[in-house]
Structure 1
């Protein structure tokens, strides 16, 4: 999101924001076009970027976005995803009674309730977010249909475990530059809040999240097929270039990565959830003014960045209306002070 936010801000592009300045599009409900601030079926307003969290529904997204929109998503190994989910959402009813992730996965028939509104956090979370039934029948036929559907809907599927390679493919597909995909790791947990899972538990998680696992295996394979087409040697060179640029900017921008309690600028504190402890950054106190804006944007968490862009976009809209002599209607503008959790 940070990459897309910076790309859009620097080029004065229009974002599709959730209504009422929410952090997501009324998740976990299916996305509806009416969830977009300023959208109406009769409006000719153009939206360039939609990147806030949603439960995907292509027919509704297409009502908002241009016919030539580039669609991409990212997948993560279901084992690490579930370990992370348990840490983030441990207070939710689906996890709250389990003493540990191992306890949950070993006694899933007792803990798991498919009717729970938070059931998707505990089973096939990626499939759910992509718009499918996370409790659907498990068979080779259903797996294949799902894989083919995702492949048809999305122009590019990135892999979290190969994030730098993914950024290179994204850069190539969109004809962007290295500076466009430059980023620092955000929303990272302290290692002390991460749990090392046994091989047995990992296999049980794969079986439990069979839809997610089949999806991940399929697109992990197609990802590396795409890398082959791109060129292995070229990929290695571009990944090295990207990492070199990131290291250089780290030296320029950052003093250190710290616990949120140790951040000097509290306005840049990342959202904290569950047992997870999300770290942040302190900027270099001797930062050259030339890099001040870029460095601050690179470490701005998505909630704060989203609010900043929302205000800029709404103020620009109000200014445009006030300068239009043919529109003299009163416009009320109020920003919600409630920050909803970003999934």
Structure 2
């Protein structure tokens, strides 16, 4: 009996040991599964991180801002990449670049139609092949300037620009960007709330996604929360990761020679002038695509704080580059900067008087030049009796950027029209630029087009020649 009990006891001990071993094996397997899942998650995050960084990374060497040396050794820089951010005063800067390109016969990477070089349906990726095969493209497929809207993708941009291009962009206080974007693009329908109601919702509820329509979506795949970060290549998911934001800001700092600040536009233009070795006349700019004060919303401190919380990634981005801009000004010299800004403003005031400019109050003025289709935007009137060169300069100074873009389309198409004729691209854009035919009635009642010919030129007009 003792042996049997002992045997039973032994068997019970063995059974208990087997149970313990099985439990340990199960725990070990569970630990392996958890470790594998953690590794996969880490790899996914790393791959996503690398994918985001790859879109904004591409420069082989870090870039740092440095002004061109003054004096006879200073040579104008004519290769430029301008990342045009939404509602940051970028249209004013774009006007400067387009005018310089037109005067100096430089090629500009032009959208086939509209104002974007990329497509929302293709994930805002630069259409490199289309730009190289465009009827507006130089034979080399490389453009002197790239200044139209596109989301930052350095590697793609480098395929259509020169290696020695100067890279610049502009940022603005995030709450002002969001307020301007909301009203300019009429986003009340997209968010399902007026601006004041939206701010109340953002401030009253922590679960923004539950209480606000399309809070984390983008209008037309482009516009929405943390707009500047999105324009500069960051995805919405990436902006919530502090490590990704830090790495991205460092890459952006190394990529751009100069990041301008919209609230300090005159100082930005001075730094830009010296960076590119241009003259005062080249960087004189009138405000483009700017709303009238009547249509601006007042932002209280509470509203600013609410919008900054909603656009936290843009706040980090703006704060970093605003501090960096202060360092640029310090390196340039405060006293020198004040003198340069005063000189630039004096030049702008002089051109304002010489061109006979004033803000337009009527939409029916003969000399009205608009900065956009929206009547909320500041427009100008011009009255000048100077030379044809001066009149052209004044007209281009206040000409809207879409019109400047159309002019350059015709100019570059005329220069490379033989390539354009062989292109398979649709030239439907040209139909909108043809002169409207004025019709009159003949004696027999047949409607005929009137052909106006200048007295000094009785030769038949070439209908295929771009205007």
Contact 2:367 2:383 survives alignment (8 Å): no
Q: Which moved more, 1:214-223 or 1:21-30?
A: 21-30
Contact 2:128 2:156 survives alignment (8 Å): yes
Matches within 5 A, 1:118-267: 118=220, 121-259=223-361, 261-265=363-367
Query: Aligned equivalents of 1:321 and 1:42: distance in 2?
Result: 9
SS of the aligned residue for 1:46 comes to: coil
**Counterpart position of 2:199:** 105
Query: Aligned equivalents of 1:46 and 1:135: distance in 2?
Result: 34
SS of the aligned residue for 2:162 comes to: coil
Query: Aligned equivalents of 1:174 and 1:330: distance in 2?
Result: 34
Q: TM-score, length-normalised on structure 2? A: 0.65
Match of 2:373 among 269, 272, 291: 272
Query: Aligned equivalents of 2:173 and 2:180: distance in 1?
Result: 11
Matched pairs, number:
327
SS of the aligned residue for 1:307 comes to: helix
Match of 2:118 among 26, 29, 32: 26
Q: Which runs of 5+ in 2 are unaligned?
A: 1-93, 203-207, 434-467
Contact 1:32 1:61 survives alignment (8 Å): no
**Counterpart position of 2:133:** 38
2:398 equivalent to 1:299 = yes
- In structure 2, the CA distance between the partners of 1:189 and 1:263, relative to structure 1 (3 Å rule), is farther
SS of the aligned residue for 2:260 comes to: strand
Q: Which runs of 5+ in 1 are unaligned?
A: 323-327
Query: Which structure would you say has the larger Rg?
Result: 2
- In structure 2, the CA distance between the partners of 1:25 and 1:261, relative to structure 1 (3 Å rule), is same
How far the C-alpha of 1:112 sits from its partner, in A, is 4.2
How far the C-alpha of 1:155 sits from its partner, in A, is 1.1
- In structure 2, the CA distance between the partners of 1:73 and 1:112, relative to structure 1 (3 Å rule), is farther
Query: Aligned equivalents of 1:98 and 1:59: distance in 2?
Result: 39
2:415 equivalent to 1:316 = yes
- In structure 2, the CA distance between the partners of 1:35 and 1:91, relative to structure 1 (3 Å rule), is farther
Contact 1:27 1:53 survives alignment (8 Å): no
**Counterpart position of 2:21:** none
Query: Aligned equivalents of 2:199 and 2:344: distance in 1?
Result: 38
How far the C-alpha of 1:284 sits from its partner, in A, is 1.6
**Counterpart position of 2:101:** 8
- In structure 2, the CA distance between the partners of 1:202 and 1:251, relative to structure 1 (3 Å rule), is same
- In structure 2, the CA distance between the partners of 1:332 and 1:85, relative to structure 1 (3 Å rule), is closer
- Return the structure number with greater relative CO, CA threshold 8 A, min gap 6: 1
SS of the aligned residue for 2:151 comes to: coil
How far the C-alpha of 1:280 sits from its partner, in A, is 0.8
Query: Aligned equivalents of 1:229 and 1:14: distance in 2?
Result: 33
How far the C-alpha of 1:237 sits from its partner, in A, is 0.5
Q: Which moved more, 1:194-203 or 1:126-135?
A: 126-135
Contact 2:259 2:325 survives alignment (8 Å): yes
**Counterpart position of 1:58:** 154
- In structure 2, the CA distance between the partners of 1:35 and 1:105, relative to structure 1 (3 Å rule), is farther
Measured on the aligned residues, the alpha-carbon RMSD in Å equals 2.7
Deviations 1:223-270 (A, max 9, x none): 01011111111111000000000000001113410246154235x333
Query: Aligned equivalents of 2:299 and 2:244: distance in 1?
Result: 29
**Counterpart position of 1:325:** none
Query: Aligned equivalents of 2:227 and 2:397: distance in 1?
Result: 28
Query: Aligned equivalents of 1:299 and 1:75: distance in 2?
Result: 23
Deviations 1:139-166 (A, max 9, x none): 5423311211211221110000000000
SS of the aligned residue for 1:254 comes to: coil
How far the C-alpha of 1:335 sits from its partner, in A, is 4.2
